[in-house]
Copies of this chain bind each other. A is one copy, B any other.
């Protein structure tokens, strides 16, 4: 496939269905992938944060990619996260992803190790040189504890290292300055927002698309939102976003005294997908604490209020 430049539209970060024993549930993954494409997704992002990449072994990551690539069968581009601490380890994952048939790679800045902006730039250049696939930078300071410097991203866009950015920085002011920079606007550089709560506004500001975790639960809503924005109907886009922002409250279903916000949000996405019949089992990977019955009931209420049940 010729990878679109820019890549535009709704690109859900696909959750990874697991069995009770923690193995990848490939049948559910196939079903979910089919559901998302049928709903109008313009691409799929496997092995991102919503995909629990940080919790999957290398073998599981390979299984996820092979399954998804096969299920997608070329209908939409498949982006593969290659989440690892540093360059040599990312190169191993990138080789796996290329072998599995991914259309593009998505890498963060180094983490655990602390690095200088010049080292971050070298990191992306080495990955791009080693793997013959379009490369996206994944800016996610809440996980990586470094915010990608705007100047580094723009330099790497200008020299062809990066095909795009998945922005989960939450720093919309910096994003705005990147979106209007000539180094980005002249290169077909893709900008996708990772914030499912500000999609209408990101699109108004010039972003190309969105990678919404909540898109696992309501992909049609995000596709409608995107279509309204592209049609210039900002009132309709806002109304759809407001509805989805209300639905997002399901991520707080878990008891904050018993688990972290991450476990609650991932658990809720999976509980919702399970209640909607998209996956067989709502299990999340260890050491995440599962939602209890009361939390699942809260998820069900949110789905019902959103008209999804």
Cβ of A114 and Cβ of B198 under 8 Å apart? no
A55 partner, pick from B113, B116, B288, beta carbons under 8 A: B113
**A85, A110, A195, A232 — most chain B CB neighbours (10 Å):** A85
CA distance A118 to B120 in the complex (A): 28
> Please, which residues of chain B bring their CB within 8 A of the CB of A89?
54-58
Chain A interface bracket (under 10, 10 to 19, 20 to 34, 35 or more): 35 or more
**Which residue in chain B gives the minimum CB-CB distance to A22?**
B88
Any B CB within 8 A of the CB of A308: no
A151 to chain B, nearest CB (A): 11
Name the interface residues of A227-264: CB closer than 8 Å to any CB of B. 232, 234-235, 238, 241-242, 245-246, 248-249, 258-263
A238 with B116, Cβ < 8 A, contacts A173-B197, A287-B122, A287-B126 known:
no
> Please, which residues of chain B bring their CB within 8 A of the CB of A115?
260, 262-263, 287-288
> Please, which residues of chain B bring their CB within 8 A of the CB of A112?
54, 83, 111-112, 143-144
Name the interface residues of A98-124: CB closer than 8 Å to any CB of B. 110-116, 118-120, 122-123
| Nearest 4 pairs of A and B residues by beta carbon | A201-B201, A116-B260, A173-B197, A54-B85
Binary contact readout A185-224 vs B (1 if CB under 8 angstroms, 0 otherwise): 0000000000101101110111000000000000000000
Apart from A114-B143, A172-B172, 10 more pairs, CB < 8 Å: A49-B113, A55-B88, A56-B88, A83-B85, A112-B112, A115-B260, A115-B287, A118-B258, A119-B287, A170-B172
A200 with B195, Cβ < 8 A, contacts A88-B56, A170-B171 known:
no
Any B CB within 8 A of the CB of A63: no
**Which residue in chain B gives the minimum CB-CB distance to A111?**
B112
Cβ of B143 and Cβ of A113 under 8 Å apart? yes
A27 to chain B, nearest CB (A): 20
A119 partner, pick from B22, B195, B205, B260, beta carbons under 8 A: B260
Cβ of A289 and Cβ of B87 under 8 Å apart? no
**A116, A126, A235 — most chain B CB neighbours (10 Å):** A116
A54 with B86, Cβ < 8 A, contacts A180-B242, A198-B201 known:
yes
> Please, which residues of chain B bring their CB within 8 A of the CB of A204?
200-201, 204, 234, 238
Binary contact readout A48-80 vs B (1 if CB under 8 angstroms, 0 otherwise): 010000111110100000000000000000000
Any B CB within 8 A of the CB of A294: no
CA distance A258 to B263 in the complex (A): 25
